[in-house]
Homo-oligomer: A and B are copies of this chain.
Amino acid sequence: MKSTSAHPAVLADAVLPDGRRADVHIDGGRIGAILEAGTGAGTPADGGERIDLGGALLLPAFVDGHAHLDKTFLGAPWRPHVPGGTIRERVEAELEIRRGLDVPVAERARALVHRMAAQGTGHIRTHADVDPQSGLDNLHALVELREQVRDLVSMEIVAFPQSGVTTAPGVDRLLDEALREGADLVGGLDPLGFDGDAGGQLDTVFGLAERHGAGVDVHLHDPGEAGAGQLRDIAARTRALGLQGRVAVSHAYCLGDLDAASLDRTAAALAGAGVSVLTNGPAGPMPPVLRLREAGVRVFAGSDNIRDAWWPYGTGDMLERATIIGLRQGLMTDEELHVAAALSTTEAAAALGLEDYGVRVGARADLVAVEASGVPEAVAGHPGRRLVLHSGRVVAEAGRLVPAR
């Protein structure tokens, strides 16, 4: 394939997310103009280069709203999955496995970032395990990596207490340190199911958020009413601290197994508090996407685990993630397929508080061209990526990273 310009001035004949065909002009790493295709405006005035997309779909770069960059085995030889045990036993097993890996966390995480960027992801919210055994090692590695890959992706980091908070000695202090040393958000883990002390864990987590002005992203796998009660507790705490729009709950499986009245009540609480919900489209019960959106709850998408001690699956492709969620939720019409795409793009960007996002004049030119005629086709079949741009620079072509020039 002929190599394209590293900094194209025009992406010509693109199909925009709303279906229009346009020439997208890029200037200083941002979208300078969006002009109707075929009007002759596709020729850069300043001698800059033009890439003809030939009717390919141009989307804003994907947002991976939930990754565990520090956990992945990518970059290391294949490791068979070791099954079994309770969640707590699996956490212990994971620590043991990761201690035995020859490839350092930074190298594995970088391999995953590269794979994500090649497929069009431009923004990542990653969790970093913070626990008594590994301390802040994972956080430090990811903070350093964030600088090294800033030409490919933007990254925010959640200090994630994978070994619990109230039941793990010193984790409260470690989370506090993490927020001073580069973490953007504080995480939590099944306050009731893991720590057995919902109030205690959430006191710590929200206390840290308030003290540091940080966002919150809590892993919540607890089912049924036990989960719903914690969701409403999280919503109440979010309102009390004025953290609307800065708090997310990841997974929230319970939203998939509540009765209608409890779902209504819980969704209203989340919507009223501006608490968003992250899903990866799991095999079991999951948040009902359309129902939550109708209730005003923001739902967004993320990869979750990718080839790590928790499971061997995962590609890091956020368009395939939209497909997976669409299949799980029975999203079929064009309007519904647009919703599925939004979970990996605009909704995730809003949940992360990304500014300058989108295919619009003034936004940063973080873009991905997909071999599809429009958004519905892209979600239905997650076809190949022709081109990925970050801040106006071509970072990947035909699904492969191109070296910086």
The residues of A with any CB-CB pair to B shorter than 8 Å are 77-78, 80-83, 283, 307, 311-315, 323-324, 326-328, 330, 332-334, 337, 373-374, 376-377, 380-382, 384, 399
Smallest beta-carbon distance A328→chain B, Å? 6
Q: Can you name 6 A-B residue pairings with CB atoms under 8 Å? A: A80-B333, A80-B334, A83-B332, A283-B330, A315-B381, A324-B327
CA distance A380 to B328 in the complex (A): 18
A326 and chain B: residue at smallest CB distance? B313
A81 and chain B: residue at smallest CB distance? B332
| Residue in contact with A374 in the complex, picked from B78, B82, B382, CB distance below 8 Å | B78
Contact A381 B283 (CB under 8 A): no
Contact B81 A333 (CB under 8 A): yes
CA distance A315 to B319 in the complex (A): 13
Q: Majority SS of interface residues in chain A?
A: loop
Among A83, A327, A373, A399, chain B packs the most CB atoms within 10 A around the CB of A327
Which chain B positions have C-beta within 8 A of A324?
327
Which chain B positions have C-beta within 8 A of A82?
333
Instruction: Count identical subunits in the complex.
Output: 2
| Contact flag A315-B80 (CB < 8 Å), given A283-B328, A283-B330 | no
Contact A380 B312 (CB under 8 A): yes
A-B pairs with lowest CB-CB distance, top 4:
A312-B380, A80-B334, A81-B332, A78-B377
Contact B307 A78 (CB under 8 A): no
Among A78, A324, A326, A382, chain B packs the most CB atoms within 10 A around the CB of A78
Contact B83 A333 (CB under 8 A): yes
Which chain B positions have C-beta within 8 A of A333?
80-83
Smallest beta-carbon distance A309→chain B, Å? 11
Which chain B positions have C-beta within 8 A of A283?
327-328, 330
CA distance A324 to B334 in the complex (A): 23
Contact B77 A313 (CB under 8 A): no
Smallest beta-carbon distance A64→chain B, Å? 16
CA distance A323 to B81 in the complex (A): 15
CA distance A80 to B324 in the complex (A): 19
Contact B78 A373 (CB under 8 A): yes
Contact A381 B313 (CB under 8 A): yes
CA distance A381 to B380 in the complex (A): 18
Which chain B positions have C-beta within 8 A of A382?
315
A307 and chain B: residue at smallest CB distance? B380
CA distance A283 to B323 in the complex (A): 12
Smallest beta-carbon distance A112→chain B, Å? 12
Smallest beta-carbon distance A333→chain B, Å? 5
Which chain B positions have C-beta within 8 A of A380?
307, 312-314
Smallest beta-carbon distance A382→chain B, Å? 7
Smallest beta-carbon distance A120→chain B, Å? 16
CA distance A76 to B384 in the complex (A): 19
Among A81, A328, A337, chain B packs the most CB atoms within 10 A around the CB of A81
| Residue in contact with A327 in the complex, picked from B307, B313, B330, CB distance below 8 Å | B313
Among A77, A283, A312, chain B packs the most CB atoms within 10 A around the CB of A312
CA distance A307 to B381 in the complex (A): 9
CA distance A135 to B374 in the complex (A): 35
A332 and chain B: residue at smallest CB distance? B81
A311 and chain B: residue at smallest CB distance? B332
Contact B77 A376 (CB under 8 A): no
CA distance A399 to B385 in the complex (A): 13
Which chain B positions have C-beta within 8 A of A323?
313
CA distance A326 to B81 in the complex (A): 13
Smallest beta-carbon distance A304→chain B, Å? 12
